[in-house]
Amino acid sequence: LPAPEVSIFQFLFPDTPSDSPVRQFDPELPAYIDGFTGYTLSRRQLKDNALRLATGLRTLGFRRGDVACLWGMNSIPWVEAAYGLLAAGIRITPANYAYEPSEIAHQLNNSGANLILLDPSTLERWEKARAQLDRPIPDEHVLLLAQPGALPAGTPYKSVYDHFGVSPSAPETFNGVQAHETAWQCYSSGTTGLPKGVETTQHNIVAQLQGLAEIYEPLESGKDVILGILPMSHIYGLAIVLLRPLTIGVPVVVLPKYEEHSVLSAVGKYRVTHAPVVPPIVLSLVNSPNVHKYDLSSLKTFLAGAAPMSAELSQAFEKRFPHIAVIQAYGMTETSPVQTAMSAARSKPGSCGQLVAGFTARLVGEDGKDVDLGEPGELWVQGPCVMKGYWKNPEATRKTFSDDGKWFKTGDIMVVDADGFYTVVDRSKELIKYKGFQVAPAELEALLLQHPKVHDAGVIGVWEESQATELPRAYVVAAPDSGVSHEHAHQHHSFIEEIKAWVASRVANHKKLRGGIAVIEVIPKSPSGKILRKDLRVRAKTE
């Protein structure tokens, strides 16, 4: 069934049931629950508040197609702001909470955001970022994600709730939002280079929500409860924590991050049944000495995604927690996001599931031909969830599709079995995944080159079994006048510590060089100057 040509907001809250195939639930059902305070937002409040905020933003002068940056940890105000922006048809560019000033400034400059909604805890970083903007954002366009009574003393900014229109416009006012307009702009490096704005349309998401209905773990309104710890600023949290639960009438317990005590306590308190996570969380629970202190009896499924998870890890988890099934899904920011998924009833350990409805897939070998069944090939896909393209970057957009423009090339090497279960076996792209977060080697390399003592640099990911994740590792060539030679290992320690700290103070937590730094003579490169990361990977294995 093709997805309807409506906006996300209309799909979720249709004016008349015939507008949308989404089942409508009792408006008094809980939609989002604050995992710390228990404060609960019903579906009706969510919709009303979204329309109020949309009206308020219109009054402030914002129009469809404007760009707003949402910057904060998961919270009820973040959720309300997102739905208000959706109702108003304002493009949302969500930013990672941990960003340092230059990182957020880059996203604001690149996206052209003229409205920023931020968590008060980011204010210190925001003031520093502000000095780096190409185009200033006036104070009236900076809204804090907190109740007016909870704003920091002396702040020049208003609360997002100050802009709840007095009398919300009727939904029809906002129905001009077109299905093929961009709804979200997350940042992803894709297969190569620096992070780029991914233009995810309203229709991409509507098609995804519809596609997931058929294959994902089926959840039941009134029975199931979803854990909302994955950052909603990342496409995984956006699709699975922020949006999908509304389509199935299931509440989300919102928490800012994975922290064992607060999360496991909330699981017991709110009888959470389904937990979307990343593989390192699965591992930490397998190894945790504390789990007996919590009531985890309500849990039925753990969904792992965004990074590889071995069959051994999922089996170790199911051995320790026999009443919980671990299922896996696979996706990409560029594909809105889930391409393959499984349910507890239809699963295969180590695999990331079967194709989501709407996608057509091929596995293509290095010769450009489809591989035989069971052979590894790069996953190419097409369908209504594939992004419009990279924002203001037609060159990168063109390169990420096949020459005929018809197939999106994922850069992931997969095998598929006769039952249609896909398994990721390798990655042909540059990307590093630290606990599900993207780390673009090109970004760290460009940063390292700014250090006066660094002459050249190459960054790769190294697998760390004890944490079930890759770690970013740098190879650097010291500048001739740095007083450091690759031959004199005794000089390396303080040089490495200096570089490590220098990088750490400039990047978000997940980009830190946790895989270490090695001083080498020369970065291996192809005749055209491309870093031969394969050679660095071979080197890392022998170190």
Cα distance between residue 398 and residue 41, in whole Å: 43
Contact between 329 and ligand AYL (CB under 6 A)? yes
- If one asks whether residue 511 binds ligand AYL (CB under 6 A), the answer comes out as no
Instruction: Work out whether 215 is an interface residue with ligand AYL (CB under 6 A).
Output: no
Cβ atoms within 10 Å, residue 543: 8
Beta strands (DSSP E) in 278-376 are: 301-304, 325-331, 338-341, 354-355, 360-364
CA distance 199 to 239: 15
Is there binding between residue 410 and ligand AYL (CB under 6 A)? yes
* Residue range at the interface with ligand AYL (CB under 6 A); choices 155-163, 330-338, 461-469, 509-517: 330-338
Number of H helices, E strands in the chain: 15, 26
188 belongs to the binding site for ligand AYL (CB under 6 A)? yes
Residues paired with residue 202 on neighbouring β-strands, in sequence order: none
| Residue selected from 31, 92, 209, 235 as contacting ligand AYL according to rule CB under 6 A | 235
Residues near ligand AYL (CB under 6 A), total: 26
Q: Does 358 bind ligand AYL (CB under 6 A)?
A: no
Residue with Cβ nearer ligand AYL (329 or 454): 329
Contact between 400 and ligand AYL (CB under 6 A)? no
Contacting residue, 117, 266, 307, 324, with ligand AYL by CB under 6 A: 307
Q: What is the 3-state secondary structure (H, E, C) of 169-210?
A: CCHHHHCCCCCCCEEEEEEECCCCCCCEEEEEEHHHHHHHHH
In the complex with ligand AYL, the residue whose CB is nearer, 243 or 478, is 243
* 305 is a contact residue toward ligand AYL (CB under 6 A): yes
CB of 486 to ligand AYL, least distance (A): 32
Selected binder of ligand AYL within 236, 317, 407, 495 (CB under 6 A): 236
The 3 state secondary structure assigned to 366-397 is CCCCECCCCCCEEEEEECCCCCCEECCCHHHH
Determine contact, residues 79/232, Cβ cutoff 8 Å: yes
**383-420: burial string, b at 16+ Cβ within 10 Å, e else:** bbbbbbbbbebeebbeebbeeeeebbbbbbbbbbeeee
CA-based Rg of the chain, rounded to a whole angstrom?
23
Find residue 362's DSSP bridge partners: 380
Nearer to ligand AYL, 301 or 328 (CB): 328
Neighbouring CB atoms inside 10 A of 373's CB total 10
* Candidate residues 89, 331, 441, 458; the one interacting with ligand AYL per rule CB under 6 A: 331
Token pair of 328, please?
A: 């896996």
Q: Which residue is nearest to ligand AYL (CB)?
A: 305
| Residue 377 in contact with ligand AYL, rule: CB under 6 A | no
Q: Which of 110, 122, 438, 469 is close enough to bind ligand AYL by CB under 6 A?
A: 438
Nearer to ligand AYL, 424 or 478 (CB): 424
Interface segment toward ligand AYL; rule CB under 6 A; list 108-116, 168-176, 329-337, 494-502: 329-337
Sheet holding 408-416, edge to edge: 360-364, 377-382, 408-416, 422-427
When asked if residue 333 is in the footprint of ligand AYL (CB under 6 A), the reply is yes
In angstroms, give the least distance from the CB of 302 to ligand AYL.
11
Contacts of ligand AYL in 415-434 (CB under 6 A): 424, 427, 431, 433
Q: Scanning residues 47 to 86, which ones bind ligand AYL (CB under 6 A)?
A: none
The one among 55, 114, 301, 328 contacting ligand AYL by CB under 6 A = 328
Among 98, 332, 386, 471, binds ligand AYL (CB under 6 A): 332
352 touching ligand AYL, by CB under 6 A:
yes
- Contact present, 174 and 58 (Cβ < 8 Å): no
Q: Nearest 5°: phi and psi at 93?
A: -115, 100
- Do the beta carbons of residue 403 and residue 416 sit within 8 Å? no
Q: Which residues of the chain form contacts with ligand AYL (CB under 6 A)? A: 188, 235-236, 239-240, 303, 305-308, 328-333, 337-338, 352, 410, 412, 424, 427, 431, 433, 438
